[in-house]
A = this chain, B = another copy of it.
Amino acid sequence: MTTAPASASSDSDTRLRLLAAAAEVFAEHGFRAATVRDICTRAEANIAAVHYHFGDKEALYHEVIERAVQAALTAFPPDYGLPPDPTAKDRLHAFVHSFLLRVLTVEKTSVLMRMLTREMVEPTAALDRLVEKVQRPLFRMLHGIVAELSGPHTPPETVLACSQAVVAQCLFYKHAEHVISRMGHRLPATPTEIAHLADQITEFTLGGIERRARASRGDRTS
């Protein structure tokens, strides 16, 4: 029986090469279309290496996802660049900025994030864990910020919708990247462009929240 992988935390050399290659291939083609052969070729490993080190293709995928999320959140945590004693607006900006950095930075993390994008549209078993471990806590954090910006008398439904609008704006540039480039529009990629986009989205959101909150107070000034 050659089933059992080595101890769970063994990071042999080929094992790491497999993980790196798998991240590339899964991000590029998705879980199903990615082939074990391709991954092993890029990792300069034998076909059987996946079976030996991870058990099967799906277990490899899970570990890649796990590490991807870890890496992205470590590199750009949601309080990225936050000054001490931040205002709610500061926290919104940091949330948006770090979100965009995770999603758009051309380094490793963005390649990894493409996997999550695919998971959202075409879920595998990995999505459930992902939602619970990552997306729910992040959204809860955002929801708190938006609630604070909306003021105390804003109905929860409005706060929810505004929070979703923030996520929507951030994810858009990843979800629609192929359309955006085909339309001839620039896709933010450099730190400067991403920071600028974060400013824009933050401002747009503040305007939206303000107007929605005003409307929910019954104002009709506009």
Residues of A within 8 A of B (CB): 30, 32-33, 117-118, 120-123, 127-128, 131, 135-136, 139, 158, 160-162, 164-165, 167-169, 171-172, 175-176, 178-180, 182-183, 185, 197, 200-201, 203-212, 215, 222
Contact = CB atoms under 8 A, between A and B. Distances in A.
Given A165-B204, A168-B169, A169-B165, A121 B211 contact: no
Contact of A120 (B161, B167, B178): B178
* Complex A-B, nearest 5 residue pairs according to Cβ-Cβ distance, in ascending order: A207-B211, A168-B172, A204-B208, A207-B207, A207-B208
Contacts of A183: 131, 135-136, 139
A207 to B, nearest CB: 3
Contact of A172 (B136, B160, B164, B205): B164
A221 to B, nearest CB: 12
Contacts of A128: 182
Contacts of A205: 208
B215 A211 contact: no
